[in-house]
Amino acid sequence: MQAVTKEIVNGLNVASMQEAIDAMKSDPGAGKLELRAHNRWVGGAHCVTAIQDFKLGGEEKKTRKQLFELHGDEPAELLGTDTGPNATEALLHALAACLNATFIYHASAQGVEVESLEIELKGELDLRGFLAVEPGIRNGYSHIDVKFKVKADAGQAKIEELCGLAQRFSPVFDMVSNPMRVHVNCEKV
């Protein structure tokens, strides 16, 4: 990211962002982030995930004043009670939120003022995979379509560059686009 002269761009303190980047360059451990989520089943398809504390640069952070609770459920058509989006919808939200933040961070670092940014996502999956109706059917999304709608003080080429940077540097885009290890431990309590 290159430095800009204006300190606040798109609501982000660019000087503070540059300080964080410089700290990570001098100490790569400063960029290590451990995020946590605690999920519990409520009933039927309804569950709640709690998110609050995290670890940054090897240090425990308890700076969030509130506990975030995310509800997951299924619509009635899928035997749920519709108290929250289902997990695959939440994945679309996570991808959109991460692409959004990544776009804004890189736009801000380059001094591009964004007036509005909307991201529309659409994913398709086949429930026969989830319900083990037919072997060989993938149980996750077969694909996700993403559409950026950007109004900014930049031309089309710069907006396309920023869309590319959002894809290249978004952690969630990386996770859904590339294989990763997931370690699972199951214990009876």
Does a structural domain hold residue 51? yes
26 phi/psi in degrees, rounded to 5: -80, -25
Which residue range forms the structural domain that includes residue 102? Answer: 85-179
pLDDT at 52: 97
Q: Do 122 and 160 have their domain in common?
A: yes
Mean pLDDT, range 25-29, rounded to an integer: 97
Residue 20 lies in a domain: no
* pLDDT of amino acid 5: 65
Residues 118, 59: one domain?
A: no
Mean pLDDT of 25-48: 98
72 lies in the same domain as 96 = no
Tell me the mean pLDDT in the region 107-119. 98
Residue 124 shares a structural domain with residue 170:
yes
The tally of domains found in the chain comes to 2
Confidence (pLDDT) at 6: 78
Asked if residue 90 lies in contact with residue 45, where contact means CB atoms within 8 angstroms, the answer is: no
Q: What pLDDT, on the 0 to 100 scale, is given for residue 116?
A: 99
Distance CA 36, CA 39 (A): 10
pTM above 0.75, yes or no: yes
**The domain that contains 117 carries what CATH number?**
3.30.300.20
Domain boundary residue, one of 84, 119, 154: 84
Q: Give the pLDDT confidence of 130-167 residue by residue, as tens digits.
A: 999 999 999 999 999 999 999 999 999 999 999 999 99
Judge whether 144 lies within some domain: yes
Please name the residue that has the structure tokens 């907006």. Answer: 159
Whether residue 80 is found in the same domain as residue 94: no
Residue 75 shares a structural domain with residue 96? no
Q: Residue 59 above 60 pLDDT?
A: yes
